[in-house]
Amino acid sequence: MKVSLIIPVYNEKETIIKLLDRVVAAKAGMDKEIVIVDDGSTDGTSSMLDGYYNKFKSSGFATEMKLMHKQNGGKGSAIYEGLKYATGDIVGVQDADLEYFPEDYEKILEPMKMGVTRVAYGSRFMGRYIPQGMTLKNWIGNMALNMTSWILYGWGCVTDLATCYKFWYREDIPAEELLCKGFEFCPVMFAAAYHRKLKVFEVPIRFQARWYEEGKKITTMNGFYELWTLIKCRFR
């Protein structure tokens, strides 16, 4: 069994090498494939990725790594591009910052390996009220998405709709619906699970939020668009 980790990257020169080192080292309980999609970075990230990739390919690691560069189109479009090259039985998403912990892969993937679920999410909110470092504004935005999902899709269906850590069996991924370009990838994937009657299984994960001065990219307008997408997809 193999998991493909798609990493969309846009202007993350301060974190990308540290993140890749952690992804490579993290245990998943199965073979790993790393698919990096550079979404038109302009800050030097692209050359750093080229250097890392060339060094990795010549180092003899058993883990397979793929790297492609594209014009900037948004997180959703980068993930969609990565899906074209992913060959794992399971596909997951990893942000290029250091907010999430690759060391949590194994426990998220365990229920999928055991046949408990075909879709697993890592939840930042299980076992805590506000994740470490998350601003009140971002917490309110996340809660608005969660509560809207409860009202439209079933009460208490998920505790963290907008988490980065989403793992699906590749054969279940609705590629034809993933033409979204930005952060609306999250509600599109959740709605796809709902319409396909795939129960989302959540596992508590660690999280360390970063500030906008450190490169955080999601905005209030992104949040409103995600909310609208969640509503729209419910009634498609």
Identify whether the C-beta of residue 103 lies closer than 8 Å to the C-beta of residue 26: yes
The count of domains in the chain is 1
Q: Which range, of 2-6, 99-103, 133-137, averages the lowest pLDDT? A: 133-137
State yes or no: pLDDT of 199 exceeds 70.
Answer: yes
State yes or no: pLDDT of 4 exceeds 80.
Answer: yes
State yes or no: pLDDT of 70 exceeds 90.
Answer: yes
Q: What is the pLDDT of residues 74-83, one digit of tens each?
A: 888 899 899 9
State yes or no: pLDDT of 179 exceeds 90.
Answer: no
Q: What is the pLDDT of residues 36-58, one digit of tens each?
A: 999 999 999 999 999 999 999 88
What is the span of the domain harbouring residue 138?
2-234
For the chain, give the DSSP string. Answer: -EEEEEEEESS-TTTHHHHHHHHHH---SSEEEEEEEEE---SSHHHHHHHHHHHHHTTT-SSEEEEEEE----HHHHHHHHHTT--SSEEEE--SSSSB-GGGHHHHHHHHHTTS-SEEEEESSTT-SS-TT--HHHHHHHHHHHHHHHHHH-TTS-S-TT-S-EEEEGGG--GGG----STTHHHHHHHHHHHTT-PEEEEE--B----GGGT----HHHHHHHHHHHHHHHT-
Stronger pLDDT, 202 or 156, i.e. the higher one: 202
> pLDDT band at residue 65, thresholds of 50, 70 and 90?
very high
Tokens of 154: 């079933």
**Which domain CATH number covers 18?**
3.90.550.10
Stronger pLDDT, 180 or 127, i.e. the higher one: 127
Q: What is the mean pLDDT of the chain?
A: 89
In percent, the amount of the chain with pLDDT more than 90 equals 60
Query: Angle at the Cα of 103 (from 101 to 196), degrees rounded to 5?
Result: 75
pLDDT confidence of residue 158: 92
Would you tell me the crossing angle of helices 220-234 and 136-153 to the nearest 10 degrees? 0
SS (H, E, C) 193-225: HHHCCCCEEEEECCECCCCHHHCCCCCHHHHHH
pTM as predicted: 0.91
Phi-psi region at 30: left, alpha or beta (left = phi > 0; alpha = psi -120 to 50)? beta
Average pLDDT of span 127-140: 81
State yes or no: pLDDT of 211 exceeds 70.
Answer: no
Phi, psi of 57 (to 5 degrees): -65, -25
